[in-house]
Structure 1
């Protein structure tokens, strides 16, 4: 965001009034009816004209909204100083990705101060010096999104995307020759179907996920992805489908290679997001199904020549089943305390990552699945991210981070149980003064909801702390500890940050996820409200100083929360959120991939439940809603940008019946060259943080100076 300061305060006031007039005038077009061709009831939806991104009237409306948002936030007192501190914190440290090991080299993404995009680094392990392997941005190939080194480390497949369109093109870098080869493989996943790749044992080719190539002059269809094989050096049009041509229109795949001399390959195939997987293993040149949906399997890893699958049938916290080369299935580890999040090989045994609410830990088991020990990691305030290990080696590298800890790599020695720090991201600020608290909310049905509260040491509940509560609650994705980073700027001024472990994630296992899916989505909204009320009851804040924040499905949570209980929140920020749930399924490819999570409105019972919580359908004229900031990306293939346009227009129209003294701003910012945000440029992510925190500071009364 660029503050508008030229011309003095009178010029700024005139500019804001002019832009506001444009916004209101554009919203007046909302009465135009648009025929419904998607089978979703068109009743009471006067904002369908805003679904047409190529309409000049819509483009003018978007431009007016952007100008209004930037003008209002640019005039925020102390906004420039707060924004400068956020940028200082964000740009002064080094950031690291999770590592990948291949051919004796450790690969990872690293961004140092001054870099817009992270660069791919390689380091001969364990004693080699870190060197830059590749910077696609410098070659004009676009932003890197994913990399996959070959087993011997000679080749490196990597994905690029442009303009936030989220569709990947794969390239092959030859480390021996020091150049990117001519191989260019378009439509390699991205958008609704995530990318995936598995190298052949000889390193001469690989399997990868691909949408069907479109006919000449046509756009690619975001359905019917399959797994194809590419031989390095051959044209993409010679790639051969190896699996999945008729598996599912909403297919997603995870490709797993054993990484040993046998180079076994497994495919975890999913029919959309949020559901169980089918497990396939390569047998005599064909992929054979060895586990189906009935096992309720969710993830897998190769351990000692067998595929260890985490399954949740009759085991809501997860059990581990092993599949051998012949397809025989046996139970290795029965359900225990803690929900299984990850499995990895170690020596002749294995490691298991578990969680219980906000707490994460790692357990070491021997070859007979007997517990050896729990690893000596911090007991609270961290989350485990990646384990780099191999069968036969009693050493493993773990990547983890915490609220006050940037990403850290440690080496675990299975023989004696010791940990040794290998590498940690450096920061220029002191995060040791942050205190971590816990409170608990009681949801409508009596379910207990953990809430993590962060504040500077010495900042205690006084009932008036400006507080931001964040949640997600969907797709089995847990809310877990993540480094505070630039959000320290909020805490330094006496603000509070809180994170709710609502249902819909898998923090407590698969039942916790299922209780927030489909017909039970309202549970997530009630859980979030319980978390908010706990913050008030425990004296951290009150409704006049409480803000709520969410991204994507978390944006849906924020939207539903603010329309259902507007009196309980003072401000709301939602990024790339979902607000018209029935139309999401009807109009976007990703909406059909999301049926496992949201259900389908083609089912009358589900349609009734969906309409009961879908935010757009419950915006009521004359209601005093919280101050709202919505941000979206014009090229988003996950959640259409029209979702934010329609919701903003409805909230703005509802505010016309509110007395001016009580009316609160409803702002929308559309980034025209951006998508869902997962691989956004560094500067965009920083600006998103500035935008959100300046807005919250303006609305919640954050002190202008650090305490």
Structure 2
């Protein structure tokens, strides 16, 4: 594929944007008058005809523009070809059954299969593709009961965070009558074969399900064969409606472990319920950890001994255990903190499998229950390993390994020998050996060294040929970005572009200090890191000056919006997806109240000043030439409500930011991202890459970027 010259300003005509009513709403906050002329666009598109009309008119303009892009059809065809491969989820063993998901290629939703024995004949158990004509109703989480006779699963409709829980008889494949609603942000945990624990919120008021704040989450027990109205309240904190609660049950069924949090920070309280004593004492819990100071993640329980991974006194995490039945329980170290980040651990075959993160790439170690080192697992290059689930008595575990140029391969490992064999490997329609995956470290504004993965063809890497480059980032909520495969990104690489992923501060790549360095009063560090990544890519000749596109979703959408305001000259194209764009009102909708841990409180003056300084909606620089911008959101996003993107787009279009397009793509029957059907993934990917190619000079499919004949 060839690299062309981006369209120059003289050749551009600004799109004819729809007229957007400008209101007169303003507020005085800490002595400053804040205008919010598009407040009305916060209203729910499902119930407000004026907002629905605005969405329809914006989509019409965007669709008409995207139709003109000569690269779009090529990307749609190629993404479809790249995603059309057999994909397997990690098997889960229960009794003599093995459960796993499989997508034959272009199914909108993966199907769930079961086998009797590892090599038994696969039997289709659940096919979500029959649930909705548009493919937008998805199978979310699923958990088999201990003996594999029943399957508890959650249903996600239209991308919403709300879930419906149902139960299936595995032998017959028939659904039971059980149904549980108003479930959100939940764990699913069987209590023997009699029922399960789950978390739910009170039923919202009519018309408020997709916008009202989420308070008063509680844990309930549902007994199989009974209506939801008879579910038993297990754990709640009515004096603290802001607390969140989830439940897990140890594999031997001895303890229910309740984790309580306040916001998005990994700072928890832990209570345990002795299920053996339930008939005598009910759901009475015992506190093991109080104070919301540190992260505590349950590994497993064997009898009364519980193992946890924690960052208490260990920013890189350590493995500890405690006897929950002791009169005075005390924590003891099993595996002390090391240089790498201990992400998670499991007990399988009476050994511990430890999954570590080193410079944002995975490696794993097997040790005994006493923590003494046994052997390291070879995972093969930069990549991400996940899985390693199982029970203490299991002789095997399954895990997957993926990288930017390799879709996930699923392995079965004999825990006694550590030997791995392929359980499911995709047949590829491209050659992964054509692409070089490397890690660079660059210097941010304050001198901090920040890692970045870089992917491009080996020929381009060898020649150091400048390529149109897609730079992706997130930088928040203690979330680590690690190598993984995307058919959409591979289409960009096949077209001749480069892909870069920056591991910004605010993430979890280096533990607590890395996270703290990129949140609240330190949030500007994240933007500085991302800007420095762009400057590095241009300075090193990896991408030409007018060849850099940026992309990020959710908190990453905020990132893209903020850096576009701060350095509009640096980027050729920007795609903020489902972004948090109004930093003065984010805490007023659905899950937004949780995010104060990372962002701060808009109603506190010190936090307000920080938020006001970078809020994408409030810092658009009128009269300055901006890059081409394609905002994306969805009408059923009840995580980051679409009003963020609606208001931001209206402000962009009114600001006079030069002739490049500033458009919004609003998906219907979709949410924050999870559960999105394959056909929508292909369509959205083609629109975004076609847009980026147009403005970075990437020529695909033999077509020049201006659409003229060769």
2:79 match: secondary structure: helix
1:621 match: secondary structure: coil
Between the aligned partners of 1:180 and 1:356, the Cα distance in structure 2 is: 44
How far residue 273 of structure 1 moved from its aligned partner, in angstroms, is 1.4
How far residue 38 of structure 1 moved from its aligned partner, in angstroms, is 11
Determine which structure has greater relative contact order: mean sequence separation of CA pairs < 8 Å that are 6+ residues apart, divided by chain length: 2
Q: Encode CA deviations 1:30-71: one digit per residue, 9 max, x unaligned.
A: 2x1236699997613222232224443332221111111111
How far residue 496 of structure 1 moved from its aligned partner, in angstroms, is 0.3
Equivalent residue, structure 2, for 1:240 = 232
Runs of 4+ in 1 over 6 A off after TM superposition: 37-41, 215-218
Contact 2:379 2:385 in 1 (8 A): no
Equivalent residue, structure 2, for 1:612 = 613
How far residue 484 of structure 1 moved from its aligned partner, in angstroms, is 3.4
Q: 1:274 to 1:205 in 2, by over 3 A?
A: same
How far residue 137 of structure 1 moved from its aligned partner, in angstroms, is 4.0
Q: 1:604 to 1:655 in 2, by over 3 A?
A: same
Between the aligned partners of 2:385 and 2:245, the Cα distance in structure 1 is: 23
Equivalent residue, structure 2, for 1:196 = 187
Equivalent residue, structure 1, for 2:401 = 400
Unaligned runs of 5+ in 2: 1-11, 278-282, 704-710
Number of matched residues?
673
Equivalent residue, structure 1, for 2:170 = 175
Establish whether residue 478 from structure 1 lines up as the match of residue 473 from structure 2.
Answer: no
Among candidates 45, 50, 65, match of residue 41 of structure 2: 50
Q: 1:93 to 1:293 in 2, by over 3 A?
A: farther
Equivalent residue, structure 1, for 2:543 = 541
Establish whether residue 668 from structure 1 lines up as the match of residue 659 from structure 2.
Answer: no
Among candidates 514, 517, 522, match of residue 515 of structure 1: 517
Equivalent residue, structure 2, for 1:6 = none
How far residue 568 of structure 1 moved from its aligned partner, in angstroms, is 0.8
Contact 1:504 1:517 in 2 (8 A): yes
Establish whether residue 703 from structure 1 lines up as the match of residue 694 from structure 2.
Answer: no
How far residue 361 of structure 1 moved from its aligned partner, in angstroms, is 0.3
Establish whether residue 678 from structure 1 lines up as the match of residue 680 from structure 2.
Answer: no
Establish whether residue 227 from structure 1 lines up as the match of residue 228 from structure 2.
Answer: no
Q: CA RMSD in A?
A: 2.5
Establish whether residue 693 from structure 1 lines up as the match of residue 680 from structure 2.
Answer: no
How far residue 293 of structure 1 moved from its aligned partner, in angstroms, is 3.9
How far residue 493 of structure 1 moved from its aligned partner, in angstroms, is 2.4
How far residue 608 of structure 1 moved from its aligned partner, in angstroms, is 1.0
Between the aligned partners of 1:241 and 1:504, the Cα distance in structure 2 is: 36
Q: Encode CA deviations 1:129-169: one digit per residue, 9 max, x unaligned.
A: 22211124425694221111111111111111323333111
Q: 1:272 to 1:426 in 2, by over 3 A?
A: farther
Among candidates 184, 206, 209, match of residue 196 of structure 2: 206
Contact 1:477 1:506 in 2 (8 A): yes
**Counterparts of 1:226-375 in structure 2 under 5 Å?**
226-246=218-238, 248-260=240-252, 262-283=253-274, 284=277, 285-293=283-291, 296-305=294-303, 306-326=305-325, 327-375=329-377
Contact 2:213 2:591 in 1 (8 A): no
TM-score normalised by the chain length of structure 2: 0.90
Q: 1:124 to 1:400 in 2, by over 3 A?
A: farther
Q: 1:46 to 1:176 in 2, by over 3 A?
A: same
Between the aligned partners of 1:638 and 1:535, the Cα distance in structure 2 is: 33
Between the aligned partners of 1:212 and 1:179, the Cα distance in structure 2 is: 29
Contact 1:87 1:686 in 2 (8 A): yes
Equivalent residue, structure 2, for 1:449 = 450
**Counterparts of 1:93-172 in structure 2 under 5 Å?**
93-139=85-131, 142-172=137-167
TM-score normalised by the chain length of structure 1: 0.90
How far residue 464 of structure 1 moved from its aligned partner, in angstroms, is 3.3
Among candidates 524, 529, 548, match of residue 527 of structure 1: 529
Between the aligned partners of 2:95 and 2:423, the Cα distance in structure 1 is: 19
Between the aligned partners of 2:296 and 2:521, the Cα distance in structure 1 is: 21
Between the aligned partners of 1:175 and 1:37, the Cα distance in structure 2 is: 60
Contact 1:468 1:496 in 2 (8 A): yes
Between the aligned partners of 2:137 and 2:635, the Cα distance in structure 1 is: 18
How far residue 413 of structure 1 moved from its aligned partner, in angstroms, is 3.1
Contact 1:214 1:221 in 2 (8 A): no
Q: 1:608 to 1:362 in 2, by over 3 A?
A: same
Establish whether residue 184 from structure 1 lines up as the match of residue 182 from structure 2.
Answer: no
Among candidates 559, 566, 569, match of residue 568 of structure 2: 566
Equivalent residue, structure 2, for 1:5 = none
My pick for the range that moved more, 213-222 or 477-486, is: 213-222
My pick for the range that moved more, 430-439 or 217-226, is: 217-226
**Counterparts of 1:384-399 in structure 2 under 5 Å?**
384-399=385-400
How far residue 621 of structure 1 moved from its aligned partner, in angstroms, is 0.9
Among candidates 24, 33, 45, match of residue 33 of structure 1: 24
